[in-house]
Amino acid sequence: MPYDSSIVSEEQGLTVFYQLLFEQSADATVVCEIDKNGRLKRFIRANHMACTKLEYTEAELLGLHPLETVKTDLSSLDNLLKKLLLQKTVSGEITFLTKTGIKRPAEISASLLTFQDRHFLICTARDITPRKRAEQSLRRVQTRNQALINAIPDLMFEINKAGLFNDFKTRNHFDFFNPAAEVIQQNINHVLPPPLAGQIMHFVHKTLVTGQAQSFEFQFPIHGSHHEWEARLVPSGPDSVLSIIRDITDRKQMENQLKYLSWHDSLTGLYNRAFFEEELQRLTADPCQPLGIIVCDMDGLKLANDTLGHATGDELLLQAAKIIKNSLRNDDVLARIGGDEFAIILPHAPVPVVESICRRIRNAITNYNVKNHGHHLSISIGFAVSSHCLKDLKILFKEADNKMYREKLLRKQTSRNTTVETVMKLLEARDFITEGHANRLQEFVANLGLSLELPRQKIADLCLLAKFHDIGKVGIPDRILFKPAPLTPEEKIEMQRHAEIGHRIACAAADLSHIAGWILKHHEWWNGKGYPLGLKEKDIPLECRILSIADAYDAMTNERPYRKALSREDAIAELIRGAGRQFDPDLVFKFINNVLNN
């Protein structure tokens, strides 16, 4: 009901006014009586906001004891009450419990009033749930931020424009700094060496002036060990900067390693093609200086790889790289620009100088071959020299490459024959395990060929096959070739490669090229389960069928590292068991009757 001042006295008006203040207050307000023993009694008054916040009607709330609406620890509430009795007024925070069980934190202000010898508690409470939620959210953010800071392994500090440390957080591996307690409020010049301190302050001022993040790298040793660092600075206030210092030594070492690998050949350690082309491009800036280019190409490297294995080929490459490098001047640039190709840039080198270097390389190769009988080294060489201003050095390189190629064509057959000769020497060196094997085979195949009335030239070719059929074994590792026990399945596969390796060697030798196909197929079986092509019956050349029988018989009747020799009778029995499976059945019986029994 609206207040009408015309019909009430002044005293009544004040009473109505105070009642309106109580009822319409934005804060929850309740009144309860305190008995003579200082204990709270039930609520006797509650305004509209109190009922709303606690979710009770006024009648329900006035029937409750204050403790029924409070979730705060009773001892804390008891302390507040005692303080109230002494001081007549108190303030603090408590948590109310609504009718539906919701907890509402509140900021309270309580006063003790005495009226007609009775004590009353008037309590005003303001709901601080939104503030508590904000505080809780802020604490979570702070906890998360602190966890992030703790997880960062870097040195962190805040420094002002005067060079004083406002804050300082270090880690165990930054033990070369003083403890944080000794650093805070110290000047940076008293903590770090002056040159580094000056560098940091330069970027501190730059960060504050520009308002933008800055970064730089520097070197600073730890316990005498070289270390590299990265500093990142960001504004953290109007006159302060947050700096993060990270040890980037490992990263720098990795970057340097990657840079090295990007410019160098992994096998020889020489520069690679990318660096060579970059260097040519750089030298184009001064096209009028006398410049020489030498191109070297190893002869027969593919054949060496195919026959002797890639380990031998790599060794030849390393030797070639060493020989060429030792023949050059200090300023010359040597690069491996292909699998078997090297290129040399010779700054300020007229024709006589380039010719002299080419001679040194050739002489060094000759000396190497004299001292090393195992693997013959052969290199074709071509060179070109710019006698006038040449803007495109690739033209000069092309000229040197063409000259090298012409020399390679002249040396091609010689180098192939030399490689084959080397292979033959290696085969002879390994023949101590099968001493006499080739001689016996030649006798067996010749006698069987005569019994078959083969032409004399065919028998001569058979004898050549008997001697060189295992030439491909030079490409088989010694650990397999000389193993004193049966081979594993994987080792058998490796051993079977000798037929293909032998075929490649024979194709490269003029004297053996006409039996290369037989060398490839001399391990084919009559039933098609041989290798490497899986040929069967008459698809297998006659010469290979003859050799396989003679080879098997000789192998069985002579000792191997992993077994003893069989008797003549047991070996013949094995041949008969293999007839129609591994061997041509007609040839088996002709071999037994016309060769072994004659």
> Is omega for the bond preceding 532 within 30 degrees of 0, making it cis?
yes
Q: Do residues 587 and 441 share a domain?
A: yes
> Is 490 in the same domain as 547?
yes
435/568 same-domain check: yes
Do 515 and 462 share a structural domain?
yes
In a domain, 227, yes or no: yes
Domain assignment of residue 257, yes or no = no
At 298, list the tokens: 């190893």
Q: Indicate whether 240 and 272 sit together in one domain.
A: no
Average pLDDT estimate for 253-262: 90
Average pLDDT, the chain: 85
Residue-level pLDDT at 432: 39
Dihedral through CA 40, CA 45, CA 48, CA 52, nearest 10? 30
pLDDT on residue 40: 86
Strands 271-272 and 333-336: what pairing?
A: parallel
Q: Which one is predicted more confidently, 14 or 417?
A: 14
- Positive or negative, the Cα torsion across 54, 48, 80, 134? positive
Give the DSSP letter of residue 375.
S
Q: Which of 72-81, 143-152, 377-386 has the highest mean pLDDT?
A: 377-386
Final residue belonging to a domain, choices 219, 251, 283: 251
d(CA 408, CA 400): 12
Residue 4 lies in a domain: no
Report whether 72 contacts 95 (CB < 8 A): yes
Maximum pairwise Cα distance, the chain: 158
As a whole-number percent, the residues of the chain with pLDDT over 90 amount to 43
Same domain, residue pair 91 and 47 = yes
Q: Are residues 441 and 587 in the same domain?
A: yes
pLDDT of residue 322: 95
Of 169 and 3, which is predicted with more confidence?
169
Based on the fold, state whether residues 91 and 156 are members of the same structural domain.
Answer: no
> Mean of the pLDDT values across residues 202-212?
94
Please tell me whether residues 367 and 473 are part of one structural domain.
no
Domain boundary among 132, 162, 184: 132
Domain count, the chain: 4
392 inside domain: yes
Which of 229, 251, 273 delimits the end of a domain? 251
pLDDT tens string 281-335: 888 776 667 789 999 999 878 777 776 778 888 999 999 999 999 999 999 999 9
State which residues form the domain around 94.
10-132
Tell me, what CATH number does 394's domain have?
A: 3.30.70.270
- Residue 221's CATH number: 3.30.450.20
Task: Judge whether 308 lies within some domain.
Answer: yes
- Is 422 domain-assigned? no
- Residue 427: pLDDT over 70: no
State whether 397 and 438 are in the same domain: no
Q: Are residues 127 and 158 in the same domain?
A: no
In-domain check, residue 142: no
Question: Do 63 and 123 sit in the same domain of this protein?
Answer: yes
For residue 140, being part of any structural domain is answered with: no
Q: In what helix (H) or strand (E) does residue 14 lie, and over which residues does it extend?
A: helix 10-24
Residue 557, domain CATH: 1.10.3210.10
